[in-house]
């Protein structure tokens, strides 16, 4: 029989499904493996043993599940956040950031349904059962988690019942004045009359001569020297504003605590064209409290500069400085389905249409009964305390909070059920709806014809992608390159798969997302403006994501790889470079064990979460949250997968898991390994391999008194690759399925420690080591080899030409090509 030499020099399709193991006619077949475990498929074509994982620390409570979330300010300032049961810890570049720990409301069971969106030093965190929060970094070690306040919206429909809401106060700085000094405080004006109080009497039909000339002031001093914070005001002109008594056209709002020294809070000029009885509204940022507030004006008095007149001035006390007051409902109809106010309504927004026809908004601060709550008023004071018939309750209550978020065209957008809410342009707190192009906006039934829940939203080129359980839609402006506005929008359906509640990732030219079943990963590509299509990227490796995808994390450097923890504890990998036809999946089992990991009785460490952040050396950090059994106790550790070995010194190779590095004076013992007590570890000590050493009392000792200056110590793992039955074409047809016998395997290697490399017939059980004595130095240290090696194989005729390859040492291994040399029956 003639010996055949079918070379396989490309592995870019990775580990393919067992359903394809005889599909030799497929183009992808000769670039695939039947098993690719702890090897990474490379864009260049070969496979390389993955880097080990560096031990960062134990989570706060190993008895509870934790999740990692990235916080990336820039490529130079990136963090990994440990979200645990009701706490958050902060890590950066392989270490915990000081003792930073932030209390959070999130329970263990809800951690993997948290959604987040980040801009600079702020991250908005959402979940349907929790009020939205904002995490803020003000310094490297200073972090806070606060409630996120939606300013004025969004809301349920306007009340259409007979129920009225009556406020007991208005949010004014002043009470309803009946004289210059009653009921409290002191009112005065430049004209100094007994009627100065009429500027604060809640009566817009009564006007006051403020000055006999074109300039003057209106002033109010709070009672008992109290200092208050004012952040808005409204002015009503006289009913004779367009006659000789013209309204003033320029002014300043000032504050003082002694009536002598004044601080300017707001300035207005060119306020022309006042109508009779017209009211205008103004607001300004302010957190300073004052005893005196005044409006100092000029430009009044009309054409003859005589008698400046106005009707009303209302200073608004900032909501945070108000004393909450009652809002009383006349009944329960229209409130929570007729149940009335509930304890869960605390924090809920209420929109109120005042008697002047202007909407204000308030927030519920406490509940007294089903018909009485306390509120504070935001924005502007109410004109009076009359019953209000037109009102709207805020949309967000427990179980109905926003569920996901994204930034899009300088808007902060959130979704819930069938709706998308987007803030005003450049004003992330403001969700007050309007008709201007930069006003906030709301889209209902964004899921399209089917009533499918929105599970995530994401910014893409020219559209806000809306992932629903029934597919993906694209929300954008109505024209090409037209901005999304309240009056210009289109909402298009794409032919895509339904989505899971798992955050998608941006993979450069496309998006990668998890389908509804969590058993497949799809790629979303744009085919034309606002139109997209999906492809199941894992179809040829369907058996890997079918184990249940937990979350996605995408690495760009040094190689484009998608990482995804699986329900069975494995870490899935997918090398993704579609421009070069590189699309290969691989699986990773981390060193160590957790009882019951594998359904077949095998055990391995369980990867529960994965996060990618930019690293300090230009290579991305892959943070892994890993569960193991150590000394009979469940431990959860945070680890960082190390960069792959490339063109370096062997002693620097880090090919162990949950490991640590020692560098210093040559020693025989290293300590600090308490997290691995009782475990068998591998050691690479100055390039020499020691396997199966036991950690005792946090220490490990090299046998025979050997000392080393550079140690890599950690749990062992081995990289394994099983080949497919190659079809080189027989004289009378395919060789697939015919009997074959492999005599040897030829491996093309790059920077590989051949002492750890072994080959085995797929049928026979004996592993054949790569025997190259010249590669091992006289002192027992390994050397890296680049070139071809031949390994004889003990095979039988039933082996079908398939071979197993494994690398067992804590050293580098890269396989560029594989050639089985076999004979086949004619």
For 622-673, the pLDDT digits (tens) are 999 999 999 999 999 999 999 988 888 899 999 999 999 999 999 999 999 9
For residues 238 and 309, membership in a common domain is answered with yes
- Phi and psi at residue 18, in whole multiples of 5°? -55, -25
Query: Is residue 377 included in any domain, yes or no?
Result: yes
Do residues 294 and 218 lie in contact, with contact meaning Cβ atoms separated by under 8 Å? yes
Please count the CA atoms within 13 angstroms of the CA of 122 that sit on its side-chain side. 13
Query: Is residue 516 included in any domain, yes or no?
Result: no
Q: List the domain range (segments joined by +) for residue 227.
A: 186-318
For residues 285 and 326, membership in a common domain is answered with no
Structure confidence by residue, pLDDT tens digits, 171-215:
999 999 999 999 999 999 998 999 999 999 999 888 888 888 888
The pLDDT of residue 23 is 83
Which of these, 143, 140, 139, 141, lies nearest to 125 by C-alpha position? 143
Do residues 589 and 568 lie in contact, with contact meaning Cβ atoms separated by under 8 Å? no
The pLDDT of residue 242 is 66
User: Helix, strand, or coil here: 108?
Assistant: helix
> What CATH number did the domain enclosing 766 receive?
2.60.120
Query: Is residue 635 included in any domain, yes or no?
Result: no
* Total of domains in the chain: 4
Average pLDDT, the chain: 89
- For residues 44-83, one letter each, b for 16 or more C-beta atoms within 10 angstroms of the residue's C-beta and e for the rest, the string is ebbbbbbbbbbbbeebbebebbbbbbbbeeeeeebbbbbb
Query: What is the value of pTM for the model shown?
Result: 0.85
For residues 785 and 808, membership in a common domain is answered with yes
| Six-digit token string for 556 | 């760009």
The pLDDT of residue 238 is 86
Where a domain ends, among 318, 342, 358?
318
The pLDDT of residue 485 is 85
Query: Is residue 508 included in any domain, yes or no?
Result: no
What does the chain come to in residues? 826
> What CATH number did the domain enclosing 367 receive?
2.40.10
The pLDDT of residue 153 is 77
For residues 698 and 765, membership in a common domain is answered with no
- For residues 409-435, one letter each, b for 16 or more C-beta atoms within 10 angstroms of the residue's C-beta and e for the rest, the string is bebbbbbbbbbbbbbbbebbebbbbee
User: 673: phi > 0 → left, psi -120 to 50 → alpha, else beta; which?
Assistant: alpha
Report the chain (826 residues): mean pLDDT per 10 consecutive residues. Answer: 73 92 82 95 93 98 97 94 98 95 97 96 94 95 92 86 97 96 96 94 88 91 96 91 74 97 97 90 96 93 76 96 97 95 91 93 95 96 96 84 92 89 90 85 65 88 87 83 81 82 89 93 78 82 95 94 95 89 92 71 86 91 96 96 89 96 97 96 95 96 95 97 76 60 87 91 74 60 88 73 90 92 69
The pLDDT of residue 447 is 43
Where a domain ends, among 352, 367, 393?
393
Query: Is residue 457 included in any domain, yes or no?
Result: no
Structure confidence by residue, pLDDT tens digits, 528-564:
665 678 888 888 999 999 999 999 999 999 999 999 9
Query: Is residue 501 included in any domain, yes or no?
Result: no
For residues 207 and 276, membership in a common domain is answered with yes
> What CATH number did the domain enclosing 195 receive?
2.60.120.260
Non-local (6+) Cβ contacts of 359 within 8 A are 351, 352, 353
The pLDDT of residue 211 is 86
For residues 205 and 313, membership in a common domain is answered with yes
């Amino acid at each position: 029989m003639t010996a055949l030499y079918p070379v396989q020099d490309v592995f870019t399709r990775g580990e393919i499904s067992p359903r394809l193991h005889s599909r030799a006619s497929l183009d992808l077949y000769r670039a695939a493996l039947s098993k690719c475990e702890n090897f990474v498929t490379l864009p260049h074509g070969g496979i390389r043993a993955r880097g080990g994982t560096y031990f960062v620390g134990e989570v706060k409570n190993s008895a509870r599940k934790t999740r990692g979330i990235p916080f990336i300010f820039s490529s130079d300032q990136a963090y990994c956040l440990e979200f645990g049961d009701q706490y958050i810890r902060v890590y950066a570049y392989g270490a915990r950031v000081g003792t930073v720990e932030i209390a959070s409301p999130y329970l263990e069971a809800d951690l993997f349904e948290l959604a987040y969106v980040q801009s600079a030093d702020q991250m908005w965190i959402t979940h349907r059962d929790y009020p939205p929060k904002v995490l803020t970094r003000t310094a490297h070690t200073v972090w806070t988690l606060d409630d996120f306040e939606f300013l004025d919206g969004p809301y349920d429909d306007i009340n259409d019942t007979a129920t009225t809401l009556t406020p007991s106060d208005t949010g004014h700085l002043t009470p309803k004045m009946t004289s210059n000094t009653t009921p409290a405080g002191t009112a005065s004006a430049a004209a100094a009359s007994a009627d100065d109080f009429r500027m604060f009497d809640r009566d817009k039909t009564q006007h006051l001569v403020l000055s006999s000339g074109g300039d003057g002031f209106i002033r109010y001093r709070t009672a008992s020297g109290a200092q208050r914070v004012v952040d808005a005001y409204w002015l009503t002109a006289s009913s004779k504003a367009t006659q000789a008594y013209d309204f003033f056209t320029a002014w300043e709002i000032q504050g003082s605590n002694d009536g002598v020294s004044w601080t300017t809070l707001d300035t207005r000029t060119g306020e022309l064209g006042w109508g009779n009885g017209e009211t205008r509204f103004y607001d300004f940022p302010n957190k300073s409290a004052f005893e005196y507030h005044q409006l100092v004006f000029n430009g009044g008095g009309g054409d003859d500069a005589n008698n400046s007149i106005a009707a009303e001035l209302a200073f608004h006390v900032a909501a945070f400085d108000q004393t909450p007051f009652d809002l009383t409902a006349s009944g329960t109809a229209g409130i929570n389905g007729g149940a009335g106010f509930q304890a869960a309504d605390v924090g809920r927004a209420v929109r109120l249409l005042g008697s002047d026809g202007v909407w204000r908004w308030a927030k519920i601060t406490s509940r007294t009964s089903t018909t009485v709550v306390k509120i504070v008023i935001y924005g502007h004071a109410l004109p009076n305390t009359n019953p209000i018939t037109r009102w709207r309750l805020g949309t967000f209550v427990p179980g109905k909070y926003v569920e996901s978020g994204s930034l899009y065209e300088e808007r902060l957008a959130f979704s819930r059920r069938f709706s998308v809410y987007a803030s005003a342009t450049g004003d992330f707190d403001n969700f007050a709806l309007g008709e201007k192009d930069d006003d906030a906006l709301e889209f209902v039934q964004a899921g399209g014809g089917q009533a499918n829940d929105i599970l995530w939203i994401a910014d893409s080129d020219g559209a806000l992608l809306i992932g629903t359980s029934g597919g993906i839609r694209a929300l954008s402006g109505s024209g090409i390159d037209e901005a999304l506005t309240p009056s210009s929008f289109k909402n298009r359906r794409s032919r895509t798969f339904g989505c899971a509640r798992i955050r998608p990732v941006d993979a450069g030219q496309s998006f990668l997302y998890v389908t509804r079943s969590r058993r497949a990963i799809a790629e979303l590509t744009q085919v034309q403006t606002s139109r997209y299509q999906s492809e199941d990227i894992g179809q040829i490796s369907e058996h890997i994501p079918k184990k249940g995808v937990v979350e996605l994390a995408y690495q760009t450097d040094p190689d484009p790889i998608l990482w995804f923890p699986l329900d069975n504890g494995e870490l899935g990998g997918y090398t993704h470079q579609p421009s070069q036809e590189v699309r290969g999946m691989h699986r990773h089992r981390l060193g160590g064990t957790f009882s019951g990991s594998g359904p077949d009785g095998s055990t391995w460490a369980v990867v529960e979460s994965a996060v990618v952040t930019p690293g300090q050396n230009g290579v991305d950090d892959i943070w892994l949250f890993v569960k193991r059994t150590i000394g009979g106790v469940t431990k959860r550790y945070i680890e960082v997968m190390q960069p792959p070995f490339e063109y370096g010194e062997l002693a620097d190779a880090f090919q162990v898991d949950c490991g640590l590095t020692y560098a210093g004076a040559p020693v025989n013992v290293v300590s600090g390994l308490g997290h691995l007590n009782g475990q068998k570890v591998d050691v690479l000590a100055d390039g020499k391999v020691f396997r199966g050493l036991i950690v005792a009392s946090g220490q490990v000792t090299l046998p025979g008194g050997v000392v080393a200056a550079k140690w890599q110590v950690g749990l062992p793992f081995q990289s394994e690759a099983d080949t497919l039955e190659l079809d080189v074409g027989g004289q009378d047809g395919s060789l697939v399925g015919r009997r074959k016998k492999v005599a040897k395997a030829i491996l093309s290697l790059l920077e590989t420690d051949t002492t750890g490399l072994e080959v085995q017939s797929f049928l026979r059980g004996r592993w054949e080591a790569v025997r190259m004595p010249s590669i091992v130095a006289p002192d027992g240290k390994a050397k890296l080899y680049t070139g071809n090696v031949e390994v004889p194989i003990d095979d039988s005729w039933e082996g079908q030409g398939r071979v197993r390859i494994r690398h067992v040492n804590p050293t580098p291994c890269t396989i560029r090509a594989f050639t089985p040399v076999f004979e086949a029956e004619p």
